[in-house]
Chains A and B, each alone.
Chain A
Amino acid sequence: MIKVEGVSKEFVNAKKYPGLKGAVKGLFSNEKERKLAVNDISFEIADGEMVGYIGGNGAGKSTTIKMMTGIIVPTSGIIEVDGIVPYKNRMQNAQNIGVVFGQRTQLWWNLPLGETFTILKEIYKVNDKDFKKRMKFLNEVLDLGKFMNNTVRTLSLGQRMRADLAASLLHNPKTLYLDEPTIGLDLVVKDKIRNAIKEINAKYHSKVILTTHDLTDIEEICHRILIIDKGTIIYDGTLENIKDKYGKTRMISVDLHDISVVKKINFNKIFNVSKKDFNYQIDGKTVTFIINKDKVSVSAVLSNLMGKTDVKDIRIKETDIGDIVKQIYIAGI
C-alpha cells in the first residue's frame, strides 16, 4: 500500500532576470525564487490498484512520482510505500519498484539489449529459474525477441520503450511507476504496452501508477484517477464519476440549407435556460449547439429547427474524457 500524507515539495532556484542586462544583474544578486511544485497532497493506493495520475504540463505529476520512487526528498509530509519511506531507504525501496520514465531510458546505451537484462538480473538478485520464466513471459507480451541482440542505441523508440518496460518488470516489482510510458509511440505499440501493463497487473497483482497525456491509456488501464493541478490534487475518484459529473454536455452539429434561421430563433427563451446550458457557434453552413442534456433535450433542439429550414446532416457528439480534462485544466473543478 502506498500512503502519501500532506506532502509538499518546494524548489529553490536562483532568481533569473530577463535579457542580457538581467543576466549581468543575476551575477550579483543572490535572490532566490521559491516554487511550490507540489502543495500538500494526500492519497492512498491499495495493492493491485491501477491509478491514472493526470494533470497539465508542470502540474507536479513527475515531482510526485520522483518523491514516491525516492529520488527526491519532500519538503514536508510523509510518504510510505509498503511500509518503507522511499527517500530514507532508497536502495531498499528500489528493490521493490519498477520505474519507466518515458522520456529517458534506463537501458545501457552502448550494450546489446540482452546484456542489459543480465545486468539487471544481477542487480535485483533474480534467480535463474525466475529469470527464464519472466523473460519468456515478457517476450510473449512485449515481443522483444527480434531485437534482443541489438545495441540499445540502434533500437527504434517503440522497441526501446517496450524494452524499458520489460526492464522495469524483470524483478517482479510490487509497485510500478510509469511516467508517460506511451509518449511518442504509434498505435500498435501503444496497444502492446497497455496490454502488457494489464496482464502484469492481473498476473502479479502489482500496483500501477501511471501518468500520461494520452487519455486513452487511462480509459483502458485505470479504474481510478487522480487529477493534479498547480500542485494540488483536485480530483480523486473513479473515471465513471467524473464522466457523470462533466459528461452531461452534448455537441450537436447540424448542416443547414439556410443558416440565417438559427439567429432568428431565441432558443434560450424557448427552453428557459442560461447561456451556460445552451450555446451555439456558427461556422459556414454548420451550426454547433453545445447543450446540457439534463436541461435541454436533443430532440427539442432539432424539432425547433426542422420546421424552419432544410436539415442536411446531423452529428451528435458525446464529450470524451479528453474534453472533460481539458475543461478541468482550463477552468478548474
Chain B
Amino acid sequence: MKKKKKKRKVKTNRLHVYTPFGKSVIKDSLAYKGSFYLFVICKVLSVFITYYLWRAIFSSSDNSELGGFNQVEILTYVFMSFVCSNMVYISMTTKIGENVVDGSIAINLIKPISYKSKLFAESIGEMIYKFIVPSVFVWIGLEVYKYVILDEFSLSGIRIALFLLSSMLSFIIYFLFEFCFGMIAFYSTYVWGMEIIKNSVLSFLTGQIIPLTFFPDFAQKLFNYLPFSSMNYVPVMIYLGKISSSELIFSIERQILWILILELISIALWRRVVKRISILGG
C-alpha cells in the first residue's frame, strides 16, 4: 500500500520541474535577438497600417462613429488588440509539428515529464518575454499618446487588472486550442499549410482585424458560441469599457468554461494520439 502511494507521487505535476523550460525559452529568445526584433518591427508596422486604414475609413465617412466605435476607441482597439494578441498568441502547432517531423518528441517522452505541461511552461516563458518586448511598451506608448496629444485618460486600476486577468484566460484558451490543433501533426506530419489557414481564419474570428461588432447579427451570435471571441476580443473590449458589468462576469465565466472544455478535449486527444505515435527518423 505504501509503495503504491509513493509511485503515484511521480505523476503529480511539480511546478518547479517545469520552470526551467519556461526560463530556457526566454534565454533562447534572447540568444536570437536579431530575428526577433525584425519580427517585432514587421508586426508593429502592420498595426500602424491597420490603424491608418481605419483613419482613412473614418475620414471618408460622414459618421463620427462606426460599428459603435469612435476614432479614439478604434485607435485603442487596434493597438490594444496588438498588445493582447502579441503576448497571448503563442503558436505551439509549429513546435509540435517540428517535434513530430524530426522525431525529437521521443526525447520528451523518455523523461518523466508531461509533454503538455512542458509546452505550457514554454508558452508562459514566451508570453512573459513578449509581454516585455514589445507589448508593454506599445501599451504605455498608446496611453501616453492618448494623454498628451488627445488629452484623454479613462484608465482605472480595476480595468487594467480585469484586462490582464481576461488576457491570461485568453492565453490559456489559446494554448489549449493550439495544443489540440497541434495534434493534427501526429496524423498529417506536416502542419505548415494548416497553420497558415488557421492563422488567417483566427485573425478574423478573434476580432484581431475587425472588431466583431462590425459583423452581421447572425455572425455575432455564432461567434458567441465559438471559443475565438474569448481569445482576444473579450479582453480588449473589457479594456475599452465596452462590456458592462453584468456582461463582464458572463464573459469571464465563458472564458473559464472554454478552458474547461478545451482541457477535456486536449486530454482525450492526447490519449488517442499517444497510442499511434511513430517516431520518425530512426
Contacts and interface: CB of A to CB of B under 8 A. Distances in A.
Interface of A: 11, 62, 66, 69-73, 90-92, 94-95, 97, 99, 101, 103-106, 108, 110-111, 115, 118-119, 122-124
Interface in B24-49: 24, 27-28, 31
A71 B106 contact: yes
A11 B281 CA distance: 14
Contacts of B10: 91-92, 95
A99 B107 CA distance: 9
A108 B21 CA distance: 9
A69 B24 contact: no
B282 A103 contact: yes
Given A95-B10, A122-B17, A104 B110 contact: no
A132 to B, nearest CB: 19
Contacts of A99: 110
- Interface of A, secondary structure class, is mixed
Contacts of A122: 14, 16-17, 20
Given A72-B279, A124-B112, A101 B106 contact: yes
B2 interface: no
B111 interface: yes
Given A90-B109, A110-B24, A111-B24, 11 more contacts: A73-B277, A91-B10, A91-B11, A92-B112, A94-B110, A104-B107, A106-B111, A119-B24, A122-B16, A123-B111, A123-B112
B275 to A, nearest CB: 5
A118 B17 CA distance: 10
Contacts of B277: 71-73
A66 B10 CA distance: 21
B103 interface: yes
Interface residues of B, number: 31
A308 B133 CA distance: 89
17 contacts: A71-B106, A72-B278, A73-B275, A90-B109, A91-B10, A91-B114, A92-B7, A92-B11, A95-B10, A95-B112, A97-B110, A104-B106, A106-B110, A119-B21, A119-B24, A122-B20, A123-B111
- Interface of B, secondary structure class, is loop
A11 B111 contact: no
Contact of B107 (A90, A106, A111): A106
B186 to A, nearest CB: 12
B282 to A, nearest CB: 6
Contacts of B199: none
A111 B27 CA distance: 8
Contacts, number: 76
B24 A66 contact: no
A94 B106 contact: no
A71 B109 contact: yes
Nearest to B20: A119
Given A101-B107, A110-B28, A91 B113 contact: yes
B104 interface: yes
B109 A70 contact: yes
A118 B109 contact: no
A137 B145 CA distance: 61
B1 to A, nearest CB: 16
B278 A11 contact: yes
B112 A110 contact: no
A103 B107 CA distance: 11
Contact of B281 (A97, A103, A108): A103
Contacts of A90: 109, 274
Interface string B1-20: 00000010011001011001
A11 B276 CA distance: 9
A139 B107 CA distance: 23
A168 B146 CA distance: 56
